[in-house]
Each structure stands twice: as C-alpha cells, then as structure tokens.
Structure 1
Amino acid sequence: MASFLVYAAACLLAALWYAAWFRRHSRRGPPLPRPNWPPLVGSIPFLEPDLHSYFARLARAHGPIFSLRLGAKLAVVVTSPSLAREVLKDQDAAFANRDVPAAARVIAYGGEAEIVWNPNGPVWRMLRRACVREMLCPAGLDAVYDLRRREVRAAVRSLRARAGSSVDVGAEMFLTVMNVITSTLWGGTLEDREERSAVGKEFQELVAEITELLGRPNVSDFFPALARFDLQGIQRQMHILLERFDRIFESIIERRKRRLEEGGRKMHGGDDFLDHMLRLEAAGGDDRTPFTMTNVKALLMVSVLSFYSFDLRCFVFYVFSVYIILHNQTNNNI
C-alpha cells in the first residue's frame, strides 16, 4: 500500500512538473494581464450582472486587452474599437470558431449539423450557402410570396369576423408573423390555420424553456471534465426538449415527403425552405460535403429558435416604429 502511494505521488509530481514546463515553453509571447483571483474558480465568483461595466472597470486597471480565468476556461476580453476591429473583421477567420456550451451542444444536434455552432470549414460554408441561396435571396422570398399573402389575408378575415369586440392587437400581430415564418419554413404542410397556431404555440413554449436553460450558469461549461456527470441536470432536461422538437419536425417532414410522393406538386404556389432542404438531402449535399436529415432538422431548429426567442415587446415596438415612419413619409408626400 505504501509503495502504491509513493508511486502515485511520484506520478502526480511528474505530471505537475510537465504541465509547468509545457506552459513555460509553449508561450509565444508575454502573458496577457489578468486580475489576481483565487485558483480553481478564477473570476467566476466576482462576475457582475452588468458585464460591460465590469469589463470597462477591469480595462482601466489592466489595459484594453486582458484575460480572465473562468474555472478551467481561459477567456480573453478586448475593449477598444481597434482591437475589436482586428478580432471581428481583419482576423475574423482566426476567431470564427465558438466554444459550444454543453446545453447548446445537445439542442444543436451535437453542434456540427447547423450553422450557428458549426466550426468554420467546408460544412459551415455549405450550410451558409444553402441558407442564403434558398431562403434569404430575393428569388427565395418571392417564391413564398403567396404563402405570406395567404397568412396576412387570413389575419384580416379573423379580425373582420370579430368586428365590434376587443382585440389584443399585439398578440394578433405576433400570431400573424409567427404563421408567416412557419409557412416560409414548411409552407402548406400544415394546411389548417388552427393546427399551425397550435404548433406555433408549442414551439413558443419550448423555446422559452430552451432559452431559460441556455441562460442558466452550468458547471459543465466552466469545467468540461465534469460535463459527463451533468451535475445540474441541464443536459438531461435539454435532451427531453430536443425529443419534443424532433417529434414535431419528423411529423412535418414525413407529411411533406408523403404529399410529394402521392401528388408530386404542393398545394401552395412556390417552394419553401423545407422543399429546398429535402432536395439537397436527397442529393446528398454537394461534391465535398454530405447533407443529411440531421442537417435538415438542425437548420429548422435554428430558424425556429431565432424567431421564437424574439421578444414580443421588441416586435410590437418595431412595427409601431415602422408605422410612424410610414405615416410621417405619407404626410410629407402630401
């Protein structure tokens, strides 16, 4: 037993010596200035809610660029416009990759199937090209014009049917834009407006839970060696939400594929985002990068999260601002 303890102590000392030697000889320049916080936890206990004010105060003490130790992670903070330009524009390719949080890795199908957390490379470029070419280009938006018009007209008919009664305008506007977005994503797959609204409301509830989990501090993010234990249960809860999303996506995709097999053409006028993604999936991607059904669901997930996490108050304020601008322009023209 004594010999085993001596052997273990010798191995530990050797590992610590090698780590110190490696850190000393692997540095390519002087270390960045940093606050002197206790080991192991680093700056985590001292972070403040208003990070911009906290970082500005540290910048006055340590300069425009400094480092923070967040558990086992090293973070570098830049606070000057010239350094921000260097990082975000001049050297953007070198800083393009992101450290995927443990909860985000679960909901993003591993972080390598969609466009947000995917590292910069052939897969990310292929996904970006597919989104820009098929969904965000003028031709892609024109292709789903009939879908957008259908939803707006349905909203007008709904309001007309309730003439003389009180109406929550903000909720109606949010519901209309929600239906426009989902129609742009998967078109006429859900023909019934009430069914689309029910699916949209379920998405809204799921996104609220996902956003809460993503914003919750997670020990696994600061100490990756503990991620496998999921001490706070955040990954387990995210897996449950992912399964609920998966059931909805798979139902929508199967109904679309069945309709295409039976009738050939869709009931709506143009191709939507799901049509393009299924076509790309059937082709297997491009010459260099495969494209699978996981990529289809991951891109749908990103699209849904990006809209449903948008705050309703911001949306109403935006629409009201547009109304004021258009109203002023009309008066000026008159």
Structure 2
Amino acid sequence: MEVVLTVIYMILAFAFFKSLFLFSRRGKKLPPGPFQLPIIGNLATLGDLPHQSLAKLADIYGPIMHLKMGCLDTIVISSPAIAQQVLQKQDIIFSRRFIPDAIFACDHFKYSVAFLPVSPLWSNLRKIIHSNLFSFNKLDANQHLRSSKVNDLIGYVKKCSQTGEAIDIGRAAFTTSLNLLSNTIFSKDMADPSQDSSKEFKDLVWNIMAEVGKPNLVDFFPVLKKMDLQGVYRRMTGHFESILKLLEGLITERMALKRSGTLAVNNDALDELIKISQGSPVEFDKTRIEHLLLDIFVAGTDTTSSTVEWGMAELLRNSETMVKAKAELDKVLGKGKILEEADITRLPYLQCIVRETLRLHPPIPFLLPRQIAEEAEVNGYTIPKNSQVLVNVWAIGRDQSSWKNPLSFYPERFLDSDIDLKGQDFELIPFGAGRRICPGMSLASRTVPVVLGSLINCFDWELEGKISANELGMDEKFGITLGKLHPLCALATSVPV
C-alpha cells in the first residue's frame, strides 16, 4: 500500500510541477519537436545511435529542435546556418559546457580544459596547451618525432606484409597516435607497434568515450545521482584512475630525476609543464598537469586513429578514389615513399580525401555538448535556461541543402572549394568553431594526412578474407566519439620503391 501511495504522490507532484512549468512558458515560442511522453519525455527516441536518430527527427521537425530528455531540455542543431548562430554569433552565451555525471568522476570536471567554464583559469590552460604542444613553432620543432613514429608504423605494416598477417588499421593508427603524443610529452614510447601493449590503453580510452557518450539516467533525472543506477560513475572512476595513475607515475619519476640532477636534457612538453607548475604552484599544480594530460591523451588518440580507419575503409570501398590517390602520390613523391608534413600542401587530392572522411565520419558527432546559462533566442525561438545544446555535425555533413549527393564518398567535391576545417565554414566543422574549437586541430591536420598518405603510398591493400568492397561493413558505434563497429582488418603488400 505504501508503494502505491508513493507512486501516486510522485505522479501528482509531477503533474503539479509540469503545470507550473507550462504556465511559466506561456507565450514563449520553443523550437518544434516530437511529442513528449510523461516523465521520460523523448528519451525513447535516442536509441543506440542518437546522432542518426536525431538526424531523422530533424528531417521532420527542422534544423532546430526542442526535445525533453527526462528533466533536461535539449536543443538539437542540424544546419550550418543555425550552428553559426550558436557557435559564432552567440558564442559567449553558448560557451558553457553541459557536464555529464561521468565527468564528475575523480573530480575531473574541476580540472578538464574541455569542460571548465570560460574563465581566466580556462584561458590560461588553453594558452598552456597551445604554447607547449600545438603552436606552429612547437609543431615544427617536434616534426621529427612524428616522422619517426610514422616510420615505425610503416615498418610494422611491412613486417606484417611479409608474414601475411592482417593489420587492424584502427589499432595500428592508435598505437602511432599514442606514441606520437607520448614522445612529444614524455620523450618515450608508451606502446610497441608489434605487441598488443596499446590495446589496454585503447580500450580504456574507448570505454571513457562510450561512458561519457551513452545516455545516462542521472543526467536526465538529477535526483538519481547518488544511486548511479547504470554504474557509469563507478566505471568512469576506475577508467580515470587507471590513466591518472599511469600519468602520475611518469610525472613523479620526471620530478624526482630533476631534483636529483641526473636527468638528461629533454626539453619536452613535460619539462615545460613542470617548469610552469614550479613558477605558479597554486594555479597549476601536479594534479592539474595530470588531468590536462588525461584530456590530451584521451582526445588526441582515439579521434586521430578513428579518422585514419574511416579514411582507409572508404578508400577500400571506392577503388577509383584509391587509384587517384596513389597516382597523385606517385607523381609528387614516387611510389613507396613515406610522406613528410611538408609534402601535404603538394597533395591536394589527399587533402580532399581527409576532408571528405571528416565530413561523413566526424570524430565527435555532436561535438561536446553545451549548456546555456540564461534564456536566449535563436532563429526566432526561445532557448530555455539550462538547456543542453547539441550541434549534430554528423547531420550537417550529410545535409542535402549543403552537399550534392551527401551520402557518397566523393573527395572531388573539395577540389574547387574553399571550404576548410578551421571553423569558419559551418558546413564542415568536425573540430567545432568559436572559442571552444578543438585546440588539437593543428596537430590532427598534420598527422592524419601523413599517416593515411603513407599507408596508401607504401602498400597495396586488400580486405582480410578477400571479401569484396561491397561487403565491408560501415556500421558505427557511438560514444562521445564515433567509432567503427567492426574493426577494419586488411592485408598489405609492399609496393616497389
């Protein structure tokens, strides 16, 4: 009887507050959206691939939609023009992040440059990242490290080609991305391409992306926070602790060597971060270094490797594009040569392939969700205070009003186009735009073409099991990032130099 009464009271309370809520919004024009069920709202519409589900709804309700996810107002943007209003013209109003409950694990929300509000602290962390990792001068100075890691990748693929072993493209690219970052920051490899040593780290990174990206009842019904019904907070704590423990060990080791005076001169990113910490121990202590590096390794490895994997998958499905890419590489470099970053500007078709890959397979399909602190107006509609704002760049990249034959992989569409990836052309914003644009964009713009181009130019490829191009699965798996559901495994044959 008590349970029945409790349920009745909950229903009555919901109806009461819903009435107050609707009364407070009288006269305000919300964006259109689907019918909302009691209590759960539109949660049932998300499914396993919410970027696809919400794109289909946008076809019905338009490029700006209002949905109710439990207690959470959600605004979904699915057109370049409205994305520009939110990310550029009203960037200040929409600059705050929506913080999923998963990010509260290990207090990461207090330190993460990705989720901190725009503030002097956030600006300082962005400046530290740019100055010590992603500035033009730093990227040029570390180019030899990236070249070395790409050479390691090609050596690994060559070894596999000699033994007839299939290469898991995503895992091989992940190991390269991981070692590229770890050499820049720590002056050491964190994984061996010929071993499975990167698998554990790759699984950790994907698990983090999946937990943050999956619908979590706590985010939609904050009253359930302490219960953690789906175990997301518990699992995220374990994932974060594993990576933070690894990073803490490397940082502590470096600090001990510096104190003892036995450290060889590295002048890598970690040395610079420690120097900044020693100069401003209150603003930038060891904990902040650990969480900053957590952001960099999680964001910088999975996104790069997934783009390379999707790019290779599209090339293996589109033989004419592969032939054209190889012809350009042969003409500019010669067959079998590994690319250098200086070669990228001489390879316009390769650049088009990368843009087309990012159009169809943006690494973060909703970017990182934003949250509006105060009520605002967009396109004549009222955006309620505290709404979560999702920019569906996956849908924007497939928008029929922006792209001819949007579902086709056709790099040639960019040959005579000025559209680039820098956040000014809102038809193509895989790295975001405005003040929250991804700080690692400059590194990815160098790394992805070099890795993808080197794999194309140094080897001929066929799918494992001699399956045809039409049989290659292109199903997606959704987290914060957009991965390939079934790993791309292919056989390589070295081309003559």
Give yes or no for contact 2:55–2:78 (8 Å, CA) kept in 1: yes
1:284 alignment partner in structure 2: 280
Equivalent residue in structure 1 for 2:300, among 285, 307, 311: 307
Query: Given that residues 217 and 230 in structure 2 are in contact (C-alpha distance below 8 angstroms), is that contact kept between their aligned partners in structure 1?
Result: yes
**Which of these two proteins has the greater Rg computed from alpha carbons?**
1
- 8 A Cα contact 2:217 2:224, kept in partner: yes
Q: Deviations over 1:223-280 (max 9, x none)?
A: 1111111112121111122221122111100111112222365354xx2222222122
- Provide the rounded CA distance (Å) in 2 between the counterparts of 1:324 and 1:46: 46
Find 1:131's aligned residue among 129, 132, 139: 129
- Larger mean CA deviation between 138-147 and 96-105 belongs to 138-147
Between 318-327 and 95-104, report the one with greater CA deviation. Answer: 318-327
What is the alpha-carbon distance in structure 2 between the residues aligned to residue 74 and residue 302 of structure 1? 27
Aligned equivalents of 1:116, 1:297: Cα separation in 2: 14
Report the aligned-residue RMSD: 4.0
Q: CA separation in 2, counterparts of 1:39 and 1:127? A: 42
In structure 2, what is the Cα distance between the partners aligned to 1:254 and 1:193? 20
- Structure-2 change in CA distance of 1:65 and 1:149 (3 Å): closer
Task: Assess if the C-alpha contact under 8 Å between 1:179 and 1:196 holds in 2.
Answer: no
**Ranges in structure 1 where 5+ consecutive residues have no aligned partner:** none
Verify the 8 A CA contact 1:179 1:197 in the aligned structure 2.
no
- What amino acid is aligned across from residue 246 of structure 1 in structure 2? L
Contact 1:67-1:74 at 8 Å conserved across structures:
yes
Residues 71 and 221 in structure 2, CA contact (< 8 A), matched pair in contact too: yes
Contact 1:41 1:70 in 2 (8 A): yes
- Give 1 or 2: higher strand fraction: 2
Q: Distance in 1 between matches of 2:240 and 2:44?
A: 31
Normalising by structure 1, what TM-score? 0.76
Output the amino acid matched with 2:269: F
- Range moving further from structure 2, 251-260 or 307-316: 307-316
Secondary structure of the residue aligned to 1:67 is strand
Contact 2:149-2:180 within 8 A present in 1 as well: yes
Give the C-alpha shift of residue 309 in structure 1. Answer: 2.0
Equivalents in 1 of 2:23, 2:177: separation in Å? 56
Q: Map 1:130-209; keep pairs closer than 5 Å.
A: 130-145=128-143, 147-148=145-146, 151=149, 165-166=163-164, 170=169, 174-188=174-188, 200-209=198-207
Give the whole-Å Cα distance in 2 for the aligned partners of 1:161 and 1:26. Answer: 65
Q: CA deviation at 1:86?
A: 0.7
Q: Does the 8 Å CA contact 1:143/1:272 hold for their aligned counterparts?
A: no
The unaligned stretches of length 5 or more in structure 2 are: 316-321, 335-345, 348-497
Name the structure 1 match of 2:39.
Answer: 40
Question: Counterpart of 2:287?
Answer: 294
SS at the partner of 1:127?
A: helix
Asked which structure has the greater RCO (Cα within 8 Å, sep 6+), the reply is 2
After TM superposition, the score normalised by the length of structure 2 is: 0.53
| 1:47-81 deviation per Cα after TM superposition (whole angstroms, max 9, x unaligned) | 35565664455456545433111001001123443
> What is the 5 A alignment of 1:4-153?
24-25=23-24, 29-48=28-47, 51=50, 54-55=53-54, 58-59=57-58, 62-106=61-105, 109-145=107-143, 147-148=145-146, 151=149
Comparing both structures, which one devotes a greater share of its residues to helix? 1
Residue type at the aligned position of 1:37? Q
2:258 match: secondary structure: helix
What is the CA-CA distance between 1:100 and the residue it aligns to? 1.1
Distance 1:84 1:324, change over 3 A: same
